[in-house]
Amino acid sequence: MKLLEIQAKKLLTLHSIPVPPNGGSIRKPGDLPAALKRCGAAPWVLKVQVHAGGRGKAGGIKIAKSAAEAKNLVSEMLGMKLVTPQTGPAGVMVHELMVEKPAKISKEFYLSVVLDRKSGRAALIASAEGGMDIEQVAESTPGKIIRMPIESFGRLEDFQARDLLFRLGLVDADPKKSKARAVFFKNVVKAFFALDAQMLEINPLALTPNGELLALDAKVTIDDNALFRHPELAEFDDPKNLTFSEREARKAGISYISLAGSIGCMVNGAGLAMATMDILKLHGGAPANFLDVGGSANVDQVSSAFKIILSDKQVKAVFVNIFGGIMKCDVIAQGVVEAVKKIKLSVPLVVRLEGNRKAEGEKILKESGLPIASVSGFSDAAKKAVELAK
């Protein structure tokens, strides 16, 4: 579960990680006066709350120097479509803003804790080159990126915190300030583990003129598989922050992630789904989504999955790739046939069935009389889907 900045900052505060004072969220113009009152005197920063980076460059962060200016900005920003490199050309609709006090900044840094899948443990990543252009720093000068493995589960060791201060140039002549900064880093790591996070990013991390560290922006992604341990996070689950397809997939109990390609994918099993996306790329295509119907899907779920894929207007072909183990190929075939009949399919469809009840599934497809390309080989089926999507 991805959290909005305002949600992430609320959690950081609970873990003793300083953030700028804020007046809460604004979801309609009438929320503004109370939010400004909670925030304090002008000026204020108004930030759109969406699950995407690059908001500042896209016009999603504005400064208001008066209540009248803030009112105009709220009217302008609520309901706007924000387009950033992370949203793609379609952009995302803005339903919520956050108002907070601007911070005085002496220097900006980058800080995150992530799951390092290569080493199988958490890693702290930091850089003295923080701010909006951290991606460029990582690409052009990777030596400026500090990567520190978290060896001890759930905590940053004292020697690691000291090393981090030294490498970031944050050792202060006042030992109390140095200690406070070390505690900041240790609290970030503690929060990452306490929240069962997959990522906790602070960018920029600001050093203020009085020598304190402040989280100016924050992104947190919680492991969905651990949400049962965090009932307190239920309030952050807002369906409006999901796309139509993501909302429908959640209702149907289907794992779905929208991508930017043109070939819709329906697969059973996450591993096969990723392999399917890889082989499409290998043959010159691009997947429009990750969709795993799971190992025990029924006809209704398969039909729902098909509708979700086809709700994406960028889809030019659909590739159904099923290995029948627990999942029966004839169930998939029946779901495909029902969905195609209801939706009146207007794009090419390639289906590959292998395994449990394969023959029965292929018979259902053949006898349906629908224009479905049934291909046996994995590579051949992928090539066919790429060819038909052009």
Hey, what are 27's tokens? 């979801």
Unique residue bearing structure tokens 């919520």: 96
Contact between 287 and 265 under an 8 Å Cβ cutoff? The reply is yes
Rounded to 10 degrees, the C-alpha dihedral 377/381/383/387 comes to: 150
Q: What are the residues whose beta carbons fall under 8 Å from the beta carbon of 173, sequence distance 6 or more? A: none
Contact between 309 and 349 under an 8 Å Cβ cutoff? The reply is no
Q: Which of 26, 7, 9, 6 is nearest to 236 (CA)?
A: 7
Catalytic member of 5, 100, 110, 256: 110
Catalytic member of 5, 96, 108, 201: 201
Question: Helix (H, G, I), strand (E, B), or coil: what is residue 280?
Answer: helix
Determine how many CB atoms are found less than 10 A away from the CB of residue 271: 10
Rounded to 10 degrees, the C-alpha dihedral 229/232/237/238 comes to: 170
| 256: annotated active-site residue | no
Hey, what are 194's tokens? 């306490």
Q: What are the residues whose beta carbons fall under 8 Å from the beta carbon of 264, sequence distance 6 or more? A: 287, 288, 289, 291, 309, 310, 312, 315, 317, 318, 319, 347
Q: How are beta strands 44-48 and 61-64 bridged, if at all?
A: antiparallel
Q: Which of 342, 338, 336 is nearest to 372 (CA)?
A: 336
Rounded to 10 degrees, the C-alpha dihedral 296/302/308/309 comes to: 100
Q: Which of 205, 271, 189 is nearest to 16 (CA)?
A: 189
Report CA-CA distances (Å) from 1 to 135, 192, 227: 23, 14, 8
Contact between 55 and 77 under an 8 Å Cβ cutoff? The reply is no
Question: Rounded CA gap, 179 and 172, in Å?
Answer: 9
Question: Rounded CA gap, 128 and 86, in Å?
Answer: 24
Supply the residues annotated as catalytic.
110, 201
